[in-house]
Structure 1
């Protein structure tokens, strides 16, 4: 069955003024859709044609001859996950229990915010900043280039911030730090993040 573009979990204008409907219309309707279309084209007649998105990603990860399939499949997954990491009137803080886990892992809530922002801002070129749970259950930060994602490294994604320029350039131009700070302060859907544990 062909992969499809999942609808956004909120209206196109729901994240304004932090992320505008103009940005989402391009980011979701053009970029995300293009990854879905490319993936379906690449999988036509392929042994993975009817595999789940996650199975496609894991089968293609680390295989140079399947780089196109991996890149498009991972970007379909990454974007779907990113949309769910945000909500209108988001940001703030998670539940007391989850905040305590973050404080244990990073030393303080403020240190976590600073370290996450640093990871997102210092990812050279295009990519993603992640809060992940590793195989031992420990919370860590990860930054990945291009389409790379935690599952390819045996980690569970909890939160991501898209730092490809098309995620923020229409609203923030070259001010990636402002976009990341706004993401943390006003957009993160902590209920979704905690549900991934």
Structure 2
């Protein structure tokens, strides 16, 4: 379940759909589609208000948790994903834990979720062996998610989205009624292993 026309690490174009601004990033192995690609429209279900449709319908929601917008939530997010995925047998569960840790750390450090009363929502879904994970925060008027230029495996700080770009099959971000959503997908095989 890889969106077509989306390449990791390539600067995505902002798209407007209704009142939402979306940022698409292409997975490395897929060609751009003629019409471009945009994340699905959000689905508002009374039991899952604020979660995108791809986690409530097409993907199948495994779990969702709301965490305080503070540094201690990074540990809580790692633990939550580790426990949630323990029973799934997904071979990339460790990668999921690492990437969730990086994205939640970014959310509590760079977004308005770090302000008093702020929170970060983590949603985990699965479809046909692909994990889809959303980290939803309050966004920021001054910071948009991007991979820092010159980041590599030796960089000590600022490598969260670089890791997402390197390990995920696809990733991107968009604004929604629930806040800024940074998402990624992990397939059964690692990026360096043929699928």
Shorter-chain TM-score above 0.5: no
Name the TM-score, length of structure 2 as normaliser. 0.28
Of Structure 1 and Structure 2, which has the larger fraction of its residues in strand?
2
What TM-score do you get using the length of structure 1 for normalisation? 0.27
Which structure would you say has the larger Rg? 1
